[in-house]
A and B are shown apart, each in its own frame.
Chain A
Amino acid sequence: MRRRRSLDDLDEDIRDHIARETDENVGRGMTPADARDAALRKFGNVTLAKEGVRAVWIPIWFDQVLQDARYGFRMLRRNPGFSAVVILTLALGIGLNTAVFSVVNAVLVRPLSYASPERLVWVATYDDRSPMEFVTAPDFLAFRDQASSLDRIAAFSIGMERVTAKDEVVPARIATVSHEFWDLAGMSPALGRIPSAGEDAIVLSHAFFERAFAGDGSVVGRPVTVNERQVLVAGVLRAAFRPQLPPPPAAAQLPPGDLDGYHDMVVRPPAPNAPGVQLFSVFARLKPGVTIDEVRSELETVRANQRRANPDRPGPPRLRVVPFSEKIVGRARTPLLVLLGSVILVLGIACANIANLLLARASARQKEVAIRTAVGAGRGRVLRQFVVESLILAMIGGAAGLLVARAGLAAMLRLIPQAVPRLSETTIDSRVLAFAFGASIATALACGIAPGIALWRTNVHDVLKDGARPASASAGGLRVRRALVAVELALAAVLLVGAALMIKSFWRITAYPPGFAPDRVLTMKFQFSGARYRETQPRRAYVDELLRRVRSTPGVGAAGVSSNGENRLLLMIEGAPPLPVEKRPVVSMTVTSAGYASAIGMRVLKGRWLSDDEPSAVYVINETLARRHFAGEDPIGKRILLPNGPDPRNAQQVPVVGVVADLRYANLESAAEPELFTDYQHTRPVGLNLAIRTAGDPSASAPAIRARLADIDPTQPLFDVKPLDVALADSIAPRRFNVILLVTFAASALLLALVGIYGVIAYSVAQRTHEIGVRMALGAQRREVVRMVVRQGMVIAIAGIAIGIAAALALTRVIASLLYEVTPTDPPTFAVVVCALMATALAACCGPAVKAALVDPIVALRCE
């Protein structure tokens, strides 16, 4: 207010002041014109006075920054090519960074969407010999009823169920949940209600409600058939609700996807003679103020009592209590941080490139700067002008980067949605915007200061002298620019090594042994359930029928079933010294059939594969089992003990009839582990994968095969129908995600480095046109000129690459855990990267070198 009023009258005040002085002068006898001149002289610089007054009210830098900004925009419009290159580079650098940061933000930074997420813990028991983590029903009940440090504890287990909707059986991913789950997960229905305790009722996800019931609200409150049982549909969840749960264990063999429904269950202790116990995933909320260590020690005590009370069902020996978020995203942390680090390197390269461009332009602007300095602009003011100009560029680049990030995120989510837990939650929120903004500011400062400093020592007099060649200051600038290019190459080298190691790992992991042709195999899953399949015999009959029908389908080769190592066996070999239960090695056991080995292309190394009419049970073992547990002896004919009840003397003796090569046929990421195969005729099949060798594209034969199999038993749907190579690719989705991103970053880095070297060399050739002309006039050969230019570029390149390789040798340890059968210092990989970078640098030098060789000495000398 006051400011406005004071400033408004300022002109009038000054005019008035000068008029008075003029009047006085006239009074002293001057002519009016002299009087006015004298008054103006006495007053001094009017504009300065006004600026001084303005500065009292408005911080002067504000005015000046506006001025700089106006000027900056003018400069941008005047050099559209330059501006476009800088903005595109920035959009790439900031866009990639923002995209990766928004994933990091969603996965690692943003808390879980539960109430008091920091108090949630994952509770599990496990055995060192197995990757499985679970809690048995009796343990869960003991934790729930006895642990005083827990506010609430919930159990759930996820499986494929068959829901009959609109006369059609739909496979659905259903979580069976203890009643505490509803509250702990914070579920609130959009329609209907949450089941009451002990009610046999189900709540559907919104997506499933839309998909299977076409969004028909009348289904709520009515029973539907779930696995041939009538279950009440109590409600439908909100569309946005998606509980954050750890991925189901690999052994569950569930196709990736969101949960379709939640089924309330009552957890009961096992009946005294029941053959097994129920296993659950369990998470809990701590009481406020309780630490994780306190909970762990309390649960240990509860479990110790529990094990003493039930010596025949001791459960796994070890207990794990970790923050729930750690369980959900813990494995994604290292890869994501590696990606973030890499993408920051890309931004570093982009910065170096832009600083280079600005430096090149700065030398062109020497005269302008000299004039500004000559008329009184301070060094600080000149520096600020450059920073403001690059701020404008960075802001535009940052805005464009946000668009790049959005497009990139959409592509990521479409390509590999299940690669990273919580990836689907990724959004561009305020934190991401702040990051993009901060990155833009940092970029602007980093890029804008370099040219400012290069011009710091501009000698006003020299530059303004007529006809002076603006070479003196650019020598320093060129030195800075060469250093920047070397840094770029070093960063690119680090990125390329990282990406190359990941690619080699990827290549190793997807290198299939001869004979294994997953792109010619169609797979589908089925799981027995319902009253009809309680006995083992109907299951075998079903598999028999399934295989018979597949074989009679035209265009189909071998076919077989496999449980993909779902069962586990404590290995005892006949004749070997007996070990106590907790020392016995765990091996995975796959229930399979005769056609399976030839369907997928498993190689028999010794003995024979299983047949479909074995008179009694036989085992085929894999190489790793043979090597590890039959050390040096021929396993064929040896017998493995299959326990039959708790008494080891009742164990059945099963002969080993063959050894097959190790094959990662279900999950590429898993290491080779001891595995034994047995036929479904002598084991009870639970869930099986059907594998069918097809003559052509498996996807093309899928509909015909499905049609033939559909009516064996409509209550047992076949699901997850896909070619084996697709299923295998899904099993390494996180790895694919990392590789795709790292390769994108490395490619960007290489491109930017290429542009960087080219820019510097081309610039220095342009600067030296005169010199080259002189050399050639004095008899230098074109070949020598080319060599000179290339040598100049390659010296920078070699220095940068050497630094980068040294840094990479130190840094690749970080990604050691992400590599597969490749050491972090793999010499061939490093060699390839060095060659690729050298070739790039050489290619970048060639253009300018040729241009230098084509310099016409006459023209070059005349133009000076």
Chain B
Amino acid sequence: MQREFTHLDVLGEAGIHLPSPRMSTKSDRERIELLQGTLDLLILRTLLLGPAHGHAITKAIERSSDDVLQVEQGSLYPALHRLIKRGWIAFDHGTSENNRRAKYYRLTPKGRKQLDVETSKWETLSRAIARILRPA
């Protein structure tokens, strides 16, 4: 079953490089590398609104950012698993709207606390960068 998605792996050497969590903006020409951990922050923020499955999370991020941020979907799953490993999110099996079985990710209490920490860190950082870019 999984074969149908696998690209032709001639040398059996896939995965030489780790994909870094990367997002693309609307236009590929304006593509910028966002700071590491940003995707984690956005996932945590999205899950604050309630449990969601993987696809819904990407959609929510895209919608909330007015489609400025496009989650490169391949990097979503490593990020989700990283958050599970750290104990910030957990998942339950559920059934979605069109009767499909899906994994619903939800924020854990620990994750909620971490979201506060990450949010304030992010705000501090963006304020600092803004001050540098547009000095008063």
Contact = CB atoms under 8 A, between A and B. Distances in A.
A31 interface: no
Nearest to B10: A375
**Which of B9, B16, B19, B53 has most chain A Cβ within 10 Å?**
B16
Contact of A377 (B5, B16, B81): B16
A51 B15 contact: yes
A48 B22 CA distance: 13
Interface string A40-67: 1011111111111111110010011001
Given A16-B53, A47-B14, A377-B13, A52 B2 contact: no
Interface stretch (B28-36, B68-76, B111-119, B125-133): B68-76
Interface residues of B, number: 35
Interface string B52-74: 01110000000000000000111
A13 B77 contact: yes
B7 interface: yes
Nearest to B20: A52
B18 A44 contact: no
A381 B54 contact: no
Nearest to B70: A42
B12 interface: yes
A46 B13 contact: no
B6 A56 contact: no
Interface string B66-99: 0000001111111001101100000000000010
A14 B14 contact: no
A9 B1 CA distance: 13
A14 B5 contact: yes
B16 A46 contact: no
A57 B84 CA distance: 10
Nearest to B100: A16
Contacts of B103: 9, 13
B48 interface: no
B1 A11 contact: yes
A6 interface: yes
A45 B19 CA distance: 10
A17 B55 contact: yes
Interface residues of A, number: 44
Contacts of B54: 13, 16-17
Nearest to B4: A15
B102 interface: yes
B17 A16 contact: no
Contacts of A16: 53-55, 100-102
B11 interface: yes
A13 B101 CA distance: 9
Contacts of A46: 5-7, 74
A42 B76 CA distance: 12
A217 B6 CA distance: 77
Contacts of A15: 1-2, 5
A56 B85 contact: yes
B104 to A, nearest CB: 11
Interface string A718-750: 000000000000000000000000000000000
Interface in A11-42: 11-21, 23, 40, 42
Contacts of B84: 2, 6
Interface of A: 2, 6, 9-21, 23, 40, 42-57, 60, 63-64, 67, 371-372, 375-378, 381
Given A47-B9, A49-B74, 17 more contacts: A11-B1, A11-B2, A13-B77, A20-B100, A21-B73, A43-B73, A43-B74, A45-B74, A47-B6, A50-B77, A51-B19, A52-B15, A52-B74, A52-B75, A52-B77, A56-B81, A375-B10
